[in-house]
Amino acid sequence: MSDTPNDPVFYFDFASPNAYFAHRILPGVEARKGVAFDYVPVLLGGIFKLTGNQAPMITFAGVPAKLAYERKEIERFIARHDLKHFTFNPHFPVNTLALMRGAVAAQAEGVLEAYVEAMFHFMWEKPRKLDDADVLHATLTEAGLPAQRLLELIATPEVKAQLMANTQLAVDQGVFGIPSFIVDGELYFGKDRLETL
């Protein structure tokens, strides 16, 4: 994870299993291309509200064949990239507002990389109900992160404003869903676009 302004950007929200998939295969892309993606936390619900978009499970609720195909594509992606640790979170959908504010706080504290790894792990590999405040506190502590400090920062106006600003910037760049990537000023949407990159 880099802070160089011209680095490619990965807009993410832990709510998205596709963002988890992207996170898991990004290291290979970075190694092959000799670049480092700048992880930028955003709020997927905010993006949906600002763009009028909806989650596929809502958009295609009346098209069962489409949803079945999407599930099949996920299975193919998992097999192709050997993502054998993926486990669908039984608490889905999880409200990630506190988690994403936590990512902003973790960035300010210099522990974003460890925070991202822990949250994706406990969202999509060993799933927990991370929108439960007690579960989140215990998870941060278990991950060796400064739990109390991060939880204090989550409630600050500065962190709340920064997450809103990140989300607005993403939308201003054309983002309408997660995962999204900005590379050389161009938007790429979806985990499959990493292969295009």
State which residues form the domain around 173: 9-196
4 occurs within a structural domain: no
181 occurs within a structural domain: yes
Whole-angstrom Cα distance, residue 102 to residue 117? 13
CATH number assigned to the domain comprising residue 65: 3.40.30.10
**Average pLDDT value for residue range 125-142:** 97
Lowest-confidence region among 34-43, 131-140, 154-163, 183-192: 183-192
What is the rounded end-to-end Cα distance, in angstroms, of the chain?
A: 17
- pLDDT for the residue 2: 45
1 occurs within a structural domain: no
3 occurs within a structural domain: no
Number of domains in the chain: 1
Burial class (CB in 10 A: 0-12, 13-18, 19+), 127: middle
Q: How would residue 191 be classed by pLDDT, with cut points 50, 70 and 90?
A: confident
2 occurs within a structural domain: no
